[in-house]
Structure formats: C-alpha cells, structure tokens
Chain A
Amino acid sequence: MSEQLTIGFLPLVDACLPILAHEHGFAKEEGLHLTFVRDVSWATVLDRLLYGHTDAAHLVAPLAIATTLGRGRPAQPLSAPFVLGLNGNAVTLSSELAARVVTPGLFGDPRACGEELRVEAAAALERGRKLRFGVVHRYSSHNYKLRYWLAASGIRPDEDVEIVTVAPPFVADALGTGEIDGACVGEPWNSVCVERGVGTIVLATAQIWRRGVEKVLAMREPVLEAKRPQVEALIRAMRKAGRHFINSQTWDDSAEILARPEYLGADAALIYRSIADRLILTPGGRPVHYPDFMFQHSEAANFPWVSQAQWLYSQMVRWDHLEFSSEDAETAARVFRPDVYRSALKGTGDALPGANSKVEGSLDQPMQVSTQQGTITLSPNAFFDGSSFDPARIEDYLDGLP
C-alpha cells in the first residue's frame, strides 16, 4: 500500500532530491508515491502549500520563516524537517562589470572582488544610476547572502545599490537588456546567462558562507503532524537519493532526468555543470572546478540545524529593519525540525549529529563532532569575512554587523 505525497517545486537544480527519490525508486522502497507540481514563482509554490494543493514544497528557507512569522501575510506555521541542500547559487554580473571586478574565467576572491565592486557602485551612484542587482525573492538565501557580501564589502545594499526581485527564468533577459547589472540566482540560471553571452559568473555563494543553508522541504505544521510517518519515509528516501546524487557515476543520468520538461525543462549540459561543481564562468570558457559549489548530502548537510534558522531570522531582522524579538527568534528557530529528521533516521546507518545547534561559521579546519549515531566530520564552514554566528547571542551578532 503506497502513500501519496504531493510536492511543489520551482525548476531549479536543488529540487533534485525529491525528484530523484521518485525517479530512482527510493520513495517507492519507503512505501511512498510522489507526485510533483511545478510552478514558476515562489508565491504560487507557497499558495499551493497553504491551500493544500501540495503536502510539501521545495522552498527558499527564509520564506518558510517569514510565513511562520506572518511577514507580509497572516502567519501560518510552517515546518522544515529537511534541508534540501547548502549553497548552489552564484553571483553573475554583466560581462562588462565582471571584467572590472574579477579576472573573468576564475571565481573572484570575495574580499578583493567586493572591494572592486564598492568602487564601481560608488562611481555608478555618482553618475546617478545605482548598480542594480536581481534576487529571486525578498525572503531568499540569495538575497541574504548577496546582502551579507555587499555589506561586509562596504556597500550598503539599500542605499548604495538597488536590489530588485527578478524571476529566475528572466535573469538572463534582464542582464541582457541592462535592466540589472548582476544577480544572485540558483542553477541552471547563472549558466544560462553565460551561455547566452550576457553575463559572467564571479562568485559562488559558497564563497560567501562556505556552508550556507539554501532550500528546505517545507510543510504546514498541521500537515506534518498528520502525515508524520509519510514525511519520515520521505526523509529516508531523500537521504538515499542524496547518496546516489553525489556519486560521480550518476551525474550524467541525474542531469538527464532533471532536464526533462516535467522537471526543469532545461539543457542537461547546463544542469550537469552545477551537479559536477564545474561551472563555466565566461561565454566560451572552460569549466572551473569549485568543490562543494552545491552540497546536498555529506556531513549531514540535510540536517535542519536550528542555528541556521536563527541565522536566517537575524538577517530578516537586519534587512527588514525589525526590532529583535526573542519571541520571534524562538518561533523562527522552531520552524527547523531536527526532531523529525532524527526520528526518521534513527536506527538506519545514517549519521546524526549529537547537537541541534552550532556556532555557524566557527570552523576553520575539519572537526569531528559528537553524534547520536555514526560519525560526522564537519568541514570548515566560514563566512568570508571571518565572523561567526552564535545563536545564543543573536543581538550581539546583529550589533557587530556593518
């Protein structure tokens, strides 16, 4: 008897785990039948989730928190029992601007590139036309990582430049027409810009925060409670899909599956680049290997660290200019559900960390951490500016930010 779950997603490479869990039969092994609803805006992915068209959704993590806190709409409690991956996005600039801030064809150094960009932003401001950057959503990690990088580089995101929302499929168009000068977007859309000759990739978001949280699997809290066994089965299936996904033998196959019209409807060769962590940064360039460009499985990457939710909340306070509220911080923290992740994988061979929270960005060398089961060695997880986030001291952290 197989249980149905319907999952909403946007055509992005990091929707891969539920899709591959379905295509490779991992969901079926767990007694699940998955169906998918593809949309083209986060607003619609969220509406379908809230109105019950879908049981779960591939969602930008900050939006799950914003929805729970009632930012911009009446509050609806969402839960994220599984992180679909870390990073996997990039900053693409118009080729002209890119040539002034990096050596095209190589990933820039975030500090040096930020410094150059600060000069360019100031010059543009002087000329009366601010540099304009596109992000996919106000409540996206793209927005928060771009802003983090700009601010730490001495560029005030709301004063010195302009940040606007651009739907991923239109980023290349918008760059091409000069509507925007750069964008922070997920794959394959950076590669599409390169392929169309309108942009150059200058940074991976993994360079801004080496282990930054990206999309989550989000559900309405009551649905999670009502369908708890199915959700736990889905978590196990997606862990199996992840193990499969990072095996280089499967990359061609994964790219081909994700490329299908019912999933991403994009060129498999472009999708392959991010799966293989080998992006082509300039039109006609050669692939550049940047390890862990996207990070979907190892080191318990899917574990919903409560500290990650709290970091996202800190950025919401920062950029929405909110008063810090310990009550909201608590509510935001509860969106991430390590308890569900743990109970799904308890007794399997999979590794589970011992803690639910950690100081984000504190590791500058690999460290073996205590676990509930299995072994986990976390890699360096730094923010590019060397700061770290202690979830017990969010207010101090906010005070220390530029």
Chain B
Amino acid sequence: MKVAVVDESAARASIIVEGLAELAGCELFVLTDRRGLLSEIEKIAPDIVLIDLGNPSRDVLEEYFVVSRALARPIAMFVDESDDDAIAASIDAGVSAYVVDGLSANRIRPLLDLAVRRFNAFARLQTDLAEAKGKLAERDTVDRAKRILMDSKKVTEPEAYGELRRKAMSSNKRIFEIAEAVVTAHELMGGAE
C-alpha cells in the first residue's frame, strides 16, 4: 500500500511518517514542496494521500483527483461513509485523507488512527514549544525591568525583583505584567535598550 504524506512542514511530516512506519506493508512518500506536487503524485500513484487541512494546495490536489485519468484515483473520505468517527477525528486533528476506491476499511482505519495520533502529538509538541518560548520571553522582560530599576534607582537585583513583586501583589497583577509596564514606560521616556 502506497501512502503519500503531503505536508509543508517537514518536521510534522517526519513525525507522521515515523509513526506510520510501524504499519506493515506500507510504502511511505513525503511531499513537502508545492512545486511539482501533482507530477510527484502522478509518479507515485498512491493508494492513500494524507494532507494537512492547513495546506493551501488542497484545492489543487482535489481538482487533480477529479480530472485525473488514472483508474485508481484517490477520493476524499466523507462523513456519510461507514467510518464517520475516524473521519471526524481526522478533521479534528487537522488531517484529511484521500483514498482510492475499493481499499478496505480495515486497512485504512489503523493508518488513519495512527496519522491522527501523530498529528495530535505534533500539535501538543507545538503548544509546549510555544509555551516554553512564551515563558522565556516573559523571563527576558522581567530581567530587563530589573535592570531598569537597578540602574535608575540604584538598587540591587533582589531589591529590584522585590519591588516588582510587591507592585504585582498590591495591584493584583502578574510580575510579568508589571515588568512589561516598566519596560514600556522606560522606552517611552526615551530610555536606551
């Protein structure tokens, strides 16, 4: 069974492919480039095509499947077909599947389930990464606010931090919000970076 994974994110594609590699009898192809996509698909003649919902090439791909003269052309899987839940889950996860007619459900199902799990896992990774980045950015702002206070009020680092914390507690805000206000004010007053 030939499976093509179309994804502009090479990172996500590799995570999905790694998951699908567990399945026996699957030959996997990864397509990340918009250019030449259709000719690649034509060459591969996949039984299943997985493409992320956020891929702008979806309309192009669907159009190709409609007009393709190939006998075994993949068509989109839809709600009213037997495997409602699997398809709904895949849409929720952000992946759409195109499958050639006649491929039995018990061959598609495990593959789709795995793809969905991998998509969800990737989404979680991204959320974690975004959170981690957010925290780093917050810490950076707090550091800058501390330096501003240390310079302008000639206080030590723990004292500067103490002031930020006191202000946060008394105004019922987070330390980061106070720090952000300090940095913004400093910039407005023409303070150097």
Task: Report B-chain residues with C-beta under 8 Å of the C-beta of A166.
Answer: 60
A41-B80 in contact (CB<8A):
no
A138 and B58 contact, CB distance less than 8 A: no
**A44-B34 contact given A53-B91, A73-B78, CB 8 Å threshold:** no
Nearest A residue to B60, CB-CB: A165
Contact B54 A73 (CB under 8 A): no
- CA–CA, A51 and B88, complex, Å: 7
| Nearest chain A CB to B116 CB, angstrom units | 13
Given contacts A50-B79, A74-B78, A165-B63, contact A40 B91 (CB under 8 A): no
Task: Say whether A44 contacts B53, CB under 8 Å.
Answer: yes
Q: How far is the CB of B110 from chain A (nearest CB, A)?
A: 21
Bound Cα distance A74, B60 (Å): 19
* Closest beta carbon of chain A to B80's beta carbon, Å: 5
Considering only residues 53-83 of chain B, those with a C-beta below 8 Å from chain A are 53-60, 62-64, 66, 75-76, 78-81
Whether B63 lies near A138 (C-beta < 8 A) is yes
A170 to B59, CA, bound (A): 12
Q: Is the interface of A mostly helix, strand, loop or mixed?
A: loop
A40 touches B80 (CB 8 A): no
Residue of A whose beta carbon sits closest to that of B67: A138
How many A-B contacts at CB < 8 Å in the complex? 67
Are A51's CB and B91's CB within 8 A?
yes
From A48, A73, A169, give the contact of B76 (CB < 8 A).
A73
Residues of A within 8 A of B59 (CB): 41-43, 136-137, 165, 167
Chain A residues positioned under 8 Å from B64 (CB to CB): 165
| A47 at the B interface (CB under 8 A) | yes
Q: Is the CB of B54 within 8 A of A40?
A: yes
Give B96's nearest chain A residue, CB to CB.
Answer: A47
Contact A170 B56 (CB under 8 A): yes
A-side contacts of B88, CB under 8 Å: 51
Q: What is the minimal beta-carbon distance from A103 to any residue of chain B, in angstroms? A: 33
Distance of A344 Cα from B73 Cα, bound (Å): 44
Q: What separation, in Å, do the CA atoms of A40 and B91 have in the docked complex?
A: 15
Q: Give min CB distance, A112 to chain B, whole Å.
A: 31
B72-116 vs A, Cβ < 8 Å mask (1 yes, 0 no): 000110111100000110011000100000000000000000000
B79: chain A residues within 8 A (beta carbon)? 50-51, 74, 76
Are A39 and B34 closer than 8 Å at their CB atoms? Answer: no
Asked if A72 lies at the interface with its beta carbon under 8 angstroms from chain B, I say: yes
Query: Is A43 within 8 A of B91, CB to CB?
Result: no
B60 touching A167 by the CB < 8 A rule?
yes
What 1/0 flags go to A167-186 for Cβ under 8 Å of B? 10110000000000000000
Enumerate 21 A-B pairs (CB-CB under 8 Å) in ascending A order: A39-B53, A40-B55, A40-B56, A41-B59, A43-B96, A44-B53, A47-B91, A51-B79, A51-B88, A51-B91, A53-B91, A72-B66, A72-B76, A73-B75, A73-B78, A76-B80, A138-B66, A164-B63, A165-B63, A167-B56, A170-B56
